[in-house]
Structure 1
């Protein structure tokens, strides 16, 4: 299982609703995130827009999400194809849409802009899409460079995305959601400031974004609501824009919606076919000559000369009165709100005052939110640029301390060496999460974040994890195999590909020495990061391990191996014997086993193998002979009390523990179909000799049962 990032809705590799496998994150906003995913059923690549959990229960945002889903009824190549909303079992709502592979106009802006010819092509294409949406009474209301993508980089294949989810619900932010307004100040039509929007509002936004993309920067709408209202009542400055793009933008962005092209089809006709001529508020479309391209200028016929009319630029008739009245209502209403406290004097108030600074693994850093001054904005933007990233910051006032900006800049400097991080600020509270593979950096940074003086004015809640986030299983297997010295070590419960950050690593098997187990644990901890490591290995000894490697892979058959004390006859279920004691060993043949041959051997810690059955004094190891006509379980003594060995003059094997070789010995019961060795093995031989004989055996092994006997000092 792959853990979710602390700052992400979904994690790469997540499978949503048994259908969509997350492949990459494409973008983040204040309320939602966009991911690239692939259907496990069809293999189709899609984009998923996921609403953050704190907004998934908000009726306003769910309404907007459902509104965006409604665009699926529109079928046009210039509009991203939407499918449906879904909800995960954890409550996250996400919208499924086609994935559009291309570059956004916001990227083109950042790169310095686009040519007028290409933008006329974009205007015609986007107008087609808007016309299709408007035909179904769907108004975008939030058109901007970041939600127009050039599929494959082709202006003729522009695609509109993002119908309905705004990026921030704070009244001071660039994008506002509510009953009265939705849209970005820089691109929103003037009437949207007073809560009115229709198809002509989208036409205004298209004209404004074309101007911004041509110049490589957004129109300056001012630093406070009063400046925004004032500037929205004025035409946009299109000086220096070549014709016919200039006239198209001038018409599309007329402050009065009645002075704009009334439909998207009209705007498309202007983009494709002619130059608008303004004569007493009349619009004339002059067709472009056949074969002319979108970037070529068409010279209109000279207008009929007439005397200047002092009233030519005054609003005419009732329409002019209504326009002035409406504008007066907007300005007076905004002024009343301003002085009434809705819009504070100076910068707008942001409540909560939030800022998010994040860098995903392998990506560039991004900062988005509010800052209290241009100096802080410049400092944060510089930090993001240093890492090849970007900043989308809004100047605002809020409930923050005087040292807030200094603390934020210090905090960003501190975490930037991390492979990935996120700083989530709300007021003076800062939640800092991050990940690094560098143990020294992790230790240093964890200690620094615990120091209250590191970021003055901020209350920091840190959680820096030690990575890597995904640890390949093959890497762990290779490490474990390289340290194995007593047969194969296994990784029970290991995932198929990667250990997630919360997936522990467990190792089972046998090792030849305690030092091997310690080395194994240390090596795993070194690569595991914060993952728990559990090394459950049995420590044998080199002798046992040598024979283990040669033993056949045979199942146990249920032979019972019992220990008792030679001097008292008392059972010793622990199998632990002290120096001076006399281990007695009994083997019980299960009732169901009546044929085959037995080999019973003791491998001691000194490297010797003692063959208890068969041997010179007991050469016949046929199970039928050993049963001697008995049915049911039959118990055989294979190691005797010392007194019995003395009485039999050594024909019965007996052991006494001394302090020359203490540790683990192994008692093995091997059942064979035939006598696998050519003749008797010597009563005592080396582990290497016995291992070689096992490797050269002539027949199959049916079963293998064993038990450990431990010798120790008192």
Structure 2
């Protein structure tokens, strides 16, 4: 175990699940091995950290796993229970799968193709059950496939939540556009499109990696990822029939893959049944490939006119072939000239047909832009390249024809220019559909870009535009100056700040005390101005200037067990809420810890108007030693503020709630090893006078304040 772990061995959850060990740690959650105290069954418990449990986005992803309980299949992990603990931790209870994951097999050098065929078939059966419930995993990878008892025919799919680390460098991304690991995700997931065929791609990719014992090389940046995802996987050295299956499972174009897990299962059962035309799209000779895999060559025009039947004898048949062959040769030459641009002066340039006609333009947080995709003309190619290079970026563009509008290129350039003021942005185009996302550094930049899309997209495009407010990562050091600036009642602190910064989905939580509501609201507004879209929550009590002044000079000692009990002078019972109305007579008792027998107790009340009432010691009760106080204590408590009737008879201190003094007062109980002051303090004095006395005592005396206990008393109408 490590410091900061959510649970520890021996912890009992919901009076049922006893924690035995930790199985894994992630950025937002941890997984534990536990045992049911009722059935004795070993379970796995996935716990979401408390700081994320208040984030609705993470809760949605967490509860998504709970939905998987409807899937009844041995190849899919079973989920049983979801609970929220008093401290905010949310956890799921699921089946414990005892065995190595494919990630372990991969790290150990890989697995034989024969075993992976068994794994693939088994996982496919689980996907059929999940897809039947309209549940797409979206995150299939070697670490999400466990071999129960280390047997290939007992593979189990786990982790349907996709609620993992979103910090920089993490391999799982959670957001509106894409969820899943880059290495194993289908190409269409990069632009936010996911269906059952995406799981089929991921399964093929993870089988390939596990066979090789090597993680896929997908590039060093998003542009390289996009480019590689548009290409077929390298299957060199993969034996049949695994090679044949992965070929079709991992087609970049989802329409050319297996269209369902059921169809894939049939192929796993009988790989030889796959038709040759199933593989035609990837069996082309290298010499015939004139465009990326996502593009197809436009077919040559069909032969026009009837072809008469040939005579029955051989000689005339040979003669009749000559004009046909000559005609075909002419067609081939003509087609070559057509696509080679010989006739461009007459018909305009014709390029390979791209389907879909895609383009991705990104500007990252570093400010550099990159573009990868198709363009319809050399003019658009030159203009876009010039603009991309003008901001220090690079372009990898391919000339292609496609089913796009004549204004496609102009519209693309317009969108690029509109988005340039943003800190970062992404344009993902497929034919006439476009998805624009961006992050503005300021609200004015955000408003300006949103205005640019207020009337829709340029002619020829349809889609969505989401412009968020950044920055991408908010560093705690950028918030600390705001805490110092607005701290008017002691130090303020960030609650559980991420060590490398707040992501866009992280909540910024501040805790502390404030002299008034205006201060708290001002801090909320100041942090919101720099936090962008992140939710901000400023927590803590609103006190008053007097209480804050005392808090600033009180000793830093911790509580010592001198618990403060509030009651009523005219009736029995404790006032647990500490709230009193006008006319009521509070009583105050302080518990004397059994283990303390020496020292002195100092009890004072600081009210909302800045007046300090010294309840102990005072002129009517000067002895505040623990020895003297124990002699008059009852049930371990000594009374320091009395009921009116008893006070009138004995001269002891009592008070009633006055309508002119409403708000929060603070009761302070100090324990010291010697006398704090040379002289007895007056029964009442100002906050400033008492603060100065505390400071002087701290600087001039060798007396130590060993503990500080306190409680709030609130008066109201």
Distance 1:412 1:530, change over 3 A: same
Q: In the alignment, what sits opposite 1:671?
A: 671
Distance 1:64 1:618, change over 3 A: closer
Which of residues 189, 211, 214 in structure 2 aligns to 1:85?
A: 214
Q: For 1:193 and 1:643, how far apart are their aligned partners in 2? A: 102
Q: How does 1:27-176 map to 2 (within 5 A)?
A: 57=201, 85-86=214-215, 93-94=216-217
Q: In the alignment, what sits opposite 1:468?
A: 471
Which of residues 338, 357, 361 in structure 2 aligns to 1:357?
A: 361
* Conserved? CA contact 1:193–1:330, under 8 Å: no
RMSD of the TM alignment (CA)? Answer: 4.6
Q: How does 1:315-330 map to 2 (within 5 A)?
A: none
Q: For 2:645 and 2:168, how far apart are their aligned partners in 1? A: 69
Residue 360 of structure 1: CA displacement?
Answer: 1.2
Q: For 1:400 and 1:653, how far apart are their aligned partners in 2? A: 89
* Conserved? CA contact 1:474–1:497, under 8 Å: no
Distance 1:226 1:376, change over 3 A: same
Which of residues 489, 504, 508 in structure 2 aligns to 1:505?
A: 508
Q: In the alignment, what sits opposite 2:384?
A: 380
* Conserved? CA contact 1:347–1:396, under 8 Å: yes
Q: For 1:406 and 1:181, how far apart are their aligned partners in 2? A: 36
Instruction: Check if 1:582 corresponds to 2:705.
Output: no
Which of residues 491, 514, 518 in structure 2 aligns to 1:488?
A: 491
Instruction: Check if 1:423 corresponds to 2:427.
Output: yes
Instruction: Check if 1:708 corresponds to 2:708.
Output: no
Distance 1:177 1:384, change over 3 A: farther
Q: In the alignment, what sits opposite 1:647?
A: 649
Distance 1:633 1:455, change over 3 A: farther
Residue 707 of structure 1: CA displacement?
Answer: 0.7
The SS at the match of 2:510 is: strand
Q: Which stretch of structure 1 is more off in the superposition, 372-381 or 478-487?
A: 372-381
Distance 1:627 1:337, change over 3 A: farther
Residue 455 of structure 1: CA displacement?
Answer: 2.3
* Conserved? CA contact 2:290–2:352, under 8 Å: no
Residue 66 of structure 1: CA displacement?
Answer: 10
Distance 1:61 1:591, change over 3 A: closer
Distance 1:181 1:620, change over 3 A: farther
Larger radius of gyration: 1
TM superposition outliers: structure 1 runs of 4+ over 6 Å: 9-12, 53-56, 58-67, 166-171, 223-227, 327-330, 332-338
Q: Please list every run of 5 or more consecutive structure 1 residues that lacks an aligned counterpart in the other structure.
A: 4-8, 18-29, 33-52, 70-83, 87-92, 100-135, 138-165, 183-190, 196-222, 228-326, 339-343
Q: In the alignment, what sits opposite 1:179?
A: 283
Task: List per-residue Cα deviations over 1:501-535 (Å, max 9, x = no partner).
Answer: 22221111111111111111111111111111110
Distance 1:475 1:379, change over 3 A: same
Task: List per-residue Cα deviations over 1:632-663 (Å, max 9, x = no partner).
Answer: 84222211223333333xx2112222233321
Residue 570 of structure 1: CA displacement?
Answer: 5.2
Q: For 2:416 and 2:522, how far apart are their aligned partners in 1? A: 38
Q: How does 1:515-554 map to 2 (within 5 A)?
A: 515-554=518-557
The SS at the match of 2:494 is: coil
Q: How does 1:287-298 map to 2 (within 5 A)?
A: none
Q: For 1:194 and 1:374, how far apart are their aligned partners in 2? A: 17
Q: How does 1:145-294 map to 2 (within 5 A)?
A: 178-181=282-285, 191=287
* Conserved? CA contact 1:607–1:686, under 8 Å: yes
The SS at the match of 2:201 is: coil
The SS at the match of 1:601 is: strand
Aligned length: 447
Q: For 1:638 and 1:432, how far apart are their aligned partners in 2? A: 68
Residue 357 of structure 1: CA displacement?
Answer: 1.1
Q: In the alignment, what sits opposite 1:299?
A: none
Q: In the alignment, what sits opposite 1:573?
A: 576
Q: In the alignment, what sits opposite 1:683?
A: 683
Distance 1:616 1:565, change over 3 A: same
Residue 375 of structure 1: CA displacement?
Answer: 4.4
Task: List per-residue Cα deviations over 1:26-55 (Å, max 9, x = no partner).
Answer: xxxx979xxxxxxxxxxxxxxxxxxxx969
Q: How does 1:296-445 map to 2 (within 5 A)?
A: 346-445=350-449
* Conserved? CA contact 1:599–1:669, under 8 Å: yes
Which of residues 557, 561, 586 in structure 1 aligns to 2:560?
A: 557
Distance 1:383 1:520, change over 3 A: same
* Conserved? CA contact 1:590–1:633, under 8 Å: no
Q: For 2:447 and 2:349, how far apart are their aligned partners in 1? A: 46
Q: Please list every run of 5 or more consecutive structure 2 residues that lacks an aligned counterpart in the other structure.
A: 1-26, 29-56, 58-163, 173-185, 189-196, 222-235, 238-249, 256-279, 301-327, 340-347
The SS at the match of 2:628 is: helix
